[in-house]
Amino acid sequence: MVGLTTSFGSGAMSNSMDDVAEKAAAFFVIGSNTTEQHPVFGSRLRQAVLRRGAKLVVADPRRIDLADFAKPAYGGLYLRHRPGTDIVLLIGLMHIILHNGWEDKNFIAGRTEGYEEFAATIEHYPPEKASEITGVPLEQLYQAAEILALNKPMAVIWAMGITQHIVGVRNVMSLANLQMLLGNMGMEGGGVNPLRGQNNVQGACDMGGLPNVYPGYQNVTSEETRLKFEAAWGVSLPDKVGLTLTEMIPACEDGRVRALYILGEDPVMSDPNTSHIRHCLERCEFLVLQEIFPSETSAYADILLPGVSFAEKTGTFTSTERRIQMCRKAIEPLGETRPDWQITTEIAKRIIALGERDMRPAPHSGWDYNDTSDIMSEISAVTPSYAGVSHARLEAGERLQWPVKGPDHPGTPVLHVGQFTRGKGKFAPIDHIPPAELPDDEFPVLLSTGRVLYHWHGGQMTRRAKGLMGVYGRALVEVNPEDAARWNAKDGTHLRVTSRRGSIEVEAWVTDRVPPGMVFANFHFPETSANILTHASLDPVAKIPEYKIVAVRVEAV
Ligand SMILES: Nc1nc2c(c(=O)[nH]1)N[C@H]1C(S)=C(S)[C@@H](COP(=O)(O)OP(=O)(O)OC[C@H]3O[C@@H](n4cnc5c(=O)[nH]c(N)nc54)[C@H](O)[C@@H]3O)O[C@H]1N2
Ligand SMILES: Nc1nc2c(c(=O)[nH]1)N[C@H]1C(S)=C(S)[C@@H](COP(=O)(O)OP(=O)(O)OC[C@H]3O[C@@H](n4cnc5c(=O)[nH]c(N)nc54)[C@H](O)[C@@H]3O)O[C@H]1N2
Ligand SMILES: [Mo]
């Protein structure tokens, strides 16, 4: 999945899990089901509330488990806003903050720019109007603004409830505005903290697994950067921005993309609008899939390459707090499988041998790596933020968070201390844009999608675990009791959920976790995957789909 960039640079936590959990006076958790989806960090947030009186504000359309810790008895608050109204909610809160004079005037004057233009947009949503659009009672807006402004440092924490929208980038920028307004940047216990999901999604983005950058977020369109990589790798490199995942697969339909090499993705399960994805993969002329299990996508593969799991290889993962962590091989690869990096380098060597492309053995390594520490040496040679990272330092027990500027540099637990990457932090004037597909007469219910504690995405790994299947063996759709009564449904009733793309039949879980008019489904099981229903409306910048808002019709079967 694509990363999100703001004026602060790449989409990683500005702070560390430790300082946020231990030093924040307040947390603002918005669009993150933290206790189910980041359970270790989630339990640290709960402990911070119970043991040291940290204040917690949760903003989520679903009453997630963490909401129990965001209550007035603990000095916190739970806000249930309508899906897709985060910008209005945030402007409403900032309006109250400004009108009470709670903004950090020194920080704004010394470290930011663009404040005047931004402040004007705040007037678009006075609290009354914000309350009306978000559905959050007016007095709760005032209470939340007070908690967030008067407890310093306050850490903002978010995940996919903020980013999986056509306004994903705008949502993130609004959160950055809030933190600059309150002067919560560049200090322990504060910051902007996206909790990224996959164990190495941060590392994949850091290594240039994005269409517009080389490792370390060095732009492919910069001539200086391009020449540097051409010299390091001994090849000529294109200067054009490529396609994101969400653009590549649809591009198979009309032949703009003719071949795919997929590693560790199961797009039939995880991408929006499954039947369209299936159609595009059918059209793709040549598909290589590197997997650890046969997946739903295997059916479309011309060649299957068996990779190995994390336990069978040695290398590093970079976590959401920018920490580079060693993961050591525990067992030998089984059967004819090989570590992913060996498969990829063998393919590269054969392409070079064919001589059909302008690819020569790179001066650095000639693709002849002995092990992954050789690969890390190459990474540190070309990537300023990883310049001081080596397996030797990690094995010696050093705790490295990028940027690690050289062999003697200790790493950077907190970003933006004293200065932002771009110098001054830029306030962005942001306006509300409604979601791409809201409920209407024909599809009157709002479907939101995401995950449950017991399964992992397409479920290729977790559906093979007996214990997990014993606890959660089939998909459930969360339905509010009021709606359940209208649809004649009880716990376990089979419901047909239909969108403009398709239809699934799934068991009801009647619960007030969701408000009336909203249902929540997951994409862990093939026949009942929420992605049969979702649509591919993308954020124009990050190209992330609006997985969180889909219009559906629901009926008992
Ligand atoms: N057990 C388990 N853990 C996982 C994963 C897994 O599959 N299983 N996946 C990992 C990955 S890759 C990721 S990215 C993370 C995802 O972690 P999360 O983002 O925490 O999980 P989601 O279920 O996608 O939904 C996040 C929350 O956003 C809320 N939400 C929906 N719409 C809106 C909205 O408009 N505004 C706001 N503010 N909130 C909204 C939902 O109600 C939900 O509580 O989890 C990681 N952890
Ligand atoms: N409706 C809806 N859809 C979503 C989301 C949502 O909230 N709602 N969330 C989106 C998000 S945030 C994410 S991250 C994606 C995740 O989507 P995917 O990345 O497609 O899902 P995963 O199940 O994490 O991983 C895919 C495959 O990797 C394989 N694998 C595991 N380890 C290895 C390895 O070491 N090597 C190799 N070669 N393969 C391996 C697994 O067997 C699995 O089949 O889903 C997205 N889709
Ligand atoms: Mo993710």
Q: Work out the average pLDDT over 388-395.
A: 98
Ligand nearest to the CA of 544: 2
Ligand 1 neighbours, Cβ below 6 Å, are 30-33, 37, 59-62, 64, 83-84, 86, 159-162, 197-198, 448, 450-451, 453, 455-457, 548
Statement: residue 350 has pLDDT above 90: no
Centre of ligand 3 to C-alpha 1, Å, is 7
Note the residue count of the chain. Answer: 557
- Do residues 20 and 193 make contact, with C-beta atoms less than 8 angstroms apart? yes
With bands split at pLDDT 50, 70 and 90, how would you rate the model's confidence at 491?
A: very high
Q: Which of 2, 33, 37 to mutate to test the pocket of ligand 1 (most atoms within 8 A of CB)?
A: 37
Take residue 178 and report the two structure tokens written for it.
């809030």
With bands split at pLDDT 50, 70 and 90, how would you rate the model's confidence at 284?
A: very high
CA distance 443 to 534: 13
Range list for CATH 3.40.50.740 in the chain = 199-401
Take residue 491 and report the two structure tokens written for it.
């716990």
Report long-range pairs for 206-215 (Cβ below 8 Å, ≥24 apart). Answer: 206/10, 206/318, 206/383, 206/385, 206/386, 206/402, 207/379, 210/2, 210/3, 210/244, 211/241, 211/242, 211/243, 211/244, 212/241, 212/242, 214/382, 215/379, 215/382, 215/383, 215/386
Q: Work out the average pLDDT over 445-453.
A: 98
pLDDT tens per residue, range 135-157: 999 999 999 999 999 999 999 99
With bands split at pLDDT 50, 70 and 90, how would you rate the model's confidence at 190?
A: very high
pLDDT tens per residue, range 358-390: 555 555 557 889 999 999 999 999 999 999 999
Range list for CATH 3.40.228.10 in the chain = 17-194
Is the Cα dihedral 21, 26, 31, 33 positive or negative? positive
In the CATH hierarchy, which top-level class contains the domain 445-556?
Answer: mainly beta
CA distance 142 to 21: 25
User: Which residues, other chains included, contact 75 with Cβ-Cβ below 8 Å and sequence gap of 6+?
Assistant: 53, 55, 147
The whole-number pLDDT of residue 9 equals 45
Q: Work out the average pLDDT over 196-215.
A: 95
Please name which of 291, 313, 321, 320 lies closest in space to residue 304, comparing C-alpha atoms: 291
Statement: residue 194 has pLDDT above 80: yes
pLDDT tens per residue, range 164-177: 999 999 999 999 99
The whole-number pLDDT of residue 456 equals 98
* 359 vs 532, more confident: 532
- Do residues 487 and 497 make contact, with C-beta atoms less than 8 angstroms apart? no
Statement: residue 285 has pLDDT above 70: yes
The CA radius of gyration of the chain, in Å to the nearest whole number, is 24
Statement: residue 504 has pLDDT above 90: yes
Name the percent of the chain lying above pLDDT 90: 92
Please name which of 67, 62, 61, 66 lies closest in space to residue 83, comparing C-alpha atoms: 61
- Do residues 428 and 422 make contact, with C-beta atoms less than 8 angstroms apart? no
In the CATH hierarchy, which top-level class contains the domain 199-401?
Answer: alpha beta
Range list for CATH 2.40.40.20 in the chain = 445-556
CA distance 435 to 432: 9
Q: Which of 249, 292, 317, 549 to mutate to test the pocket of ligand 2 (most atoms within 8 A of CB)?
A: 292
Centre of ligand 1 to C-alpha 546, Å, is 13
With bands split at pLDDT 50, 70 and 90, how would you rate the model's confidence at 422?
A: confident
Statement: residue 357 has pLDDT above 60: no
Query: The domain 17-194 belongs to what CATH superfamily?
Result: Dimethylsulfoxide Reductase, domain 2 (3.40.228.10)
Statement: residue 328 has pLDDT above 50: yes
The whole-number pLDDT of residue 362 equals 53
Centre of ligand 3 to C-alpha 535, Å, is 17
Q: Which of 13, 451, 457, 476 to mutate to test the pocket of ligand 1 (most atoms within 8 A of CB)?
A: 451
From the alpha carbon of 460, which atom of ligand 2 is closest?
44
Take residue 448 and report the two structure tokens written for it.
């939101």
Does residue 293's CB lie within 6 angstroms of at least one atom of ligand 2? yes
Which residue, judged by its Cα, is nearest atom 28 of ligand 2?
Answer: 264
How would you class 180 by CB atoms within 10 Å of its CB: exposed for 0-12, middle for 13-18, buried for 19 or more?
buried
With bands split at pLDDT 50, 70 and 90, how would you rate the model's confidence at 268?
A: very high
CA distance 288 to 346: 14
Centre of ligand 1 to C-alpha 361, Å, is 42
Statement: residue 474 has pLDDT above 80: yes
Please name which of 236, 237, 233 lies closest in space to residue 361, comparing C-alpha atoms: 233
Which residue, judged by its Cα, is nearest atom 30 of ligand 1?
Answer: 161
Which residues are paired to 518 by β-bridges?
446
Which residues are paired to 507 by β-bridges?
476, 494
The whole-number pLDDT of residue 351 equals 83
Q: Work out the average pLDDT over 520-544.
A: 97
Classified as helix, coil or strand, 304 is strand
Please name which of 419, 421, 418 lies closest in space to residue 403, comparing C-alpha atoms: 421
Q: Work out the average pLDDT over 253-258.
A: 96
Does residue 205's CB lie within 6 angstroms of at least one atom of ligand 2? no
Q: What is the pTM for the complete model shown? A: 0.96
Statement: residue 39 has pLDDT above 90: yes
